[in-house]
């Protein structure tokens, strides 16, 4: 199955049925009067969050959707049938955006959540509706109104409590393997992880949380380099980020340099996202000589001017992992209790997430505009090589 986290579609609600112009015509019933019925309402378009879906692949090739029109009214005061509503099922975590107005129409974050996206047209009135004491044979009717038409952008953001941020080969996928039953691909080359993967971490019998691994970011990611910029939006819904740093890098870049670059790229993508709770995780400590460990760790902390939590782990052999997991679980439980006690806190968090989404969309749009301007300035002959779907990802989905 392919993993697609963005799609552009058009939806159109059904047109309302027209009213009927009719008069009663029966034997032995002179002057039967008007009996034209109303039309039926047009069908509306709804979006439903389905927990069984994990990709927007269904909207990759079929991009036009239309609800059923309402039927016209008939004689004998018969009302036309209502158009059938159209329900489009999307993965949980999908945001629906009106392209023309840039308005967020729905944010489907709970399984079974249903939101109306396009209103069906109102039915027309038959001539029965116009009869009165002074107008006993009305010939007026009204037509049904048109249904709403919308150009939509669907954005899928994976739902997880904890998100992993870091350079390629920092050990993020190994960490997910170590703490959950998920099996993302692990190899000794960069960008082994091509799509986000989720793992459920069970700390105790009835306590657990979800961790998300996204492809690593590199220097220049905010300007379009690498894959990370395409997936950073998936971190917008996380309650805490783990900044994973490779303490035994395979290239000449020091851990401190890599850590600083990752934070800078994150801030370029969304300043608000960079200000969210973030913990520092120094990975691959088993590969660092004992006499160098303290110095290397101190260099990263000093380079970041770090004052938050710092954890030294070795994901490959799970060294130092368990205390980190328990602290994460306690932190998430405390946040959940705070939200339950004060609904305003949850509302503030939702506003923050909406702000992160807006900043991310603005940054990506600016990046696309800049790339388009460079292409036009160069007057490239390969015009067909660039289009607005350059940031729609379609790669293998790793369960």
Binding residue ranges for Mg(2+): 173, 193
To 5 degrees, how large is the angle CA 250–CA 254–CA 257? 130
The rounded distance, in Å, linking the Cα atoms of 153 and 107 is 12
The rounded distance, in Å, linking the Cα atoms of 184 and 199 is 9
Structural tokens at position 46 = 């709804």
Return the exposure string of 306-335: e unless at least 16 CB atoms fall within 10 Å of the residue's CB, then b. beebbbbbbbbeeebbeebbeebbebbeeb
The rounded distance, in Å, linking the Cα atoms of 39 and 333 is 54
The rounded distance, in Å, linking the Cα atoms of 350 and 237 is 9
- The DSSP bridge partners found for residue 149 are 12
Per the CB < 8 A criterion, the answer to whether 168 and 192 are in contact is: yes
Cite the annotated binding site by residue number: 166-173, 191-195, 213-216, 283-286, 314-316
* 3 state DSSP class of 79: coil
Return the exposure string of 356-375: e unless at least 16 CB atoms fall within 10 Å of the residue's CB, then b. bbebbbebbeebbeeeeeee
Per the CB < 8 A criterion, the answer to whether 302 and 270 are in contact is: no
Per the CB < 8 A criterion, the answer to whether 56 and 156 are in contact is: yes
Say how far residue 225 (Cα) sits from the centre of its chain: 22
C-alpha count within 13 angstroms, C-beta hemisphere, residue 92: 11
Structural tokens at position 121 = 């047209």
Per the CB < 8 A criterion, the answer to whether 389 and 60 are in contact is: no
Cite the annotated binding site for GTP by residue number: 166-173, 191-195, 213-216, 283-286, 314-316
Sequence-distant (6+) residues with CB within 8 A of 35 are 22, 23, 24, 75, 76, 77, 128
């Amino acid at each position: 199955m392919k993993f697609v986290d963005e799609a552009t579609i058009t939806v159109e609600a059904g047109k309302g049925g027209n009213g009927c112009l009719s008069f009663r015509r029966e034997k032995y019933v002179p002057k039967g009067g008007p009996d034209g019925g109303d039309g039926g309402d047009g069908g509306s378009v709804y979006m439903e969050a389905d927990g069984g879906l994990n990709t927007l692949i269904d909207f990759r090739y079929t991009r036009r959707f239309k609800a059923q029109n309402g039927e016209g009214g008939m004689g004998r005061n018969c009302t036309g049938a209502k158009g059938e509503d159209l329900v489009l099922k999307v993965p949980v975590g999908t945001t629906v955006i009106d392209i023309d107005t840039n308005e967020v129409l729905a944010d489907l974050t709970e399984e079974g959540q249903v939101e109306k996206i396009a209103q069906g047209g109102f039915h027309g009135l038959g001539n029965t509706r116009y009869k009165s004491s002074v107008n006993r044979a009305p010939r007026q009717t009204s037509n049904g109104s048109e249904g709403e038409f919308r150009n939509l952008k669907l954005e899928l953001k994976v739902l997880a409590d904890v998100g992993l941020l870091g350079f390629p080969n920092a050990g993020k996928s190994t960490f997910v393997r170590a703490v959950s039953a998920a099996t993302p691909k692990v190899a000794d080359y960069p960008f082994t992880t091509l799509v986000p993967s989720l793992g459920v971490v069970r700390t105790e019998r009835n306590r657990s949380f979800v961790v998300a691994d996204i492809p690593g970011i590199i220097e220049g990611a905010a300007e379009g380099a690498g894959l990370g910029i395409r997936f950073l939006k998936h971190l917008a819904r996380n309650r805490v980020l783990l900044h994973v740093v490779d303490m035994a890098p395979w290239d000449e870049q020091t851990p401190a340099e890599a850590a600083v670059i990752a934070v800078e790229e994150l801030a370029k993508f969304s300043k608000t996202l960079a200000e969210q709770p973030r913990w520092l995780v120094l990975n691959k400590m088993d590969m660092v000589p004992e006499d160098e460990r303290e110095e290397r760790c101190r260099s990263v902390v000093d380079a970041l001017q770090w004052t938050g939590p710092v954890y030294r782990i070795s994901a490959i052999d799970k060294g130092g992992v368990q205390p980190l997991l328990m602290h994460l679980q306690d932190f998430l439980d405390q946040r959940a209790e705070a939200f339950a006690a004060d609904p305003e806190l949850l509302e503030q968090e939702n506003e923050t997430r909406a702000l992160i989404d807006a900043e991310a969309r603005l940054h990506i749009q600016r990046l696309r505009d800049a790339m388009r301007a460079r292409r036009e300035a160069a007057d490239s002959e390969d015009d067909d090589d660039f289009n607005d779907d350059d940031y729609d990802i379609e790669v293998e989905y790793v369960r």
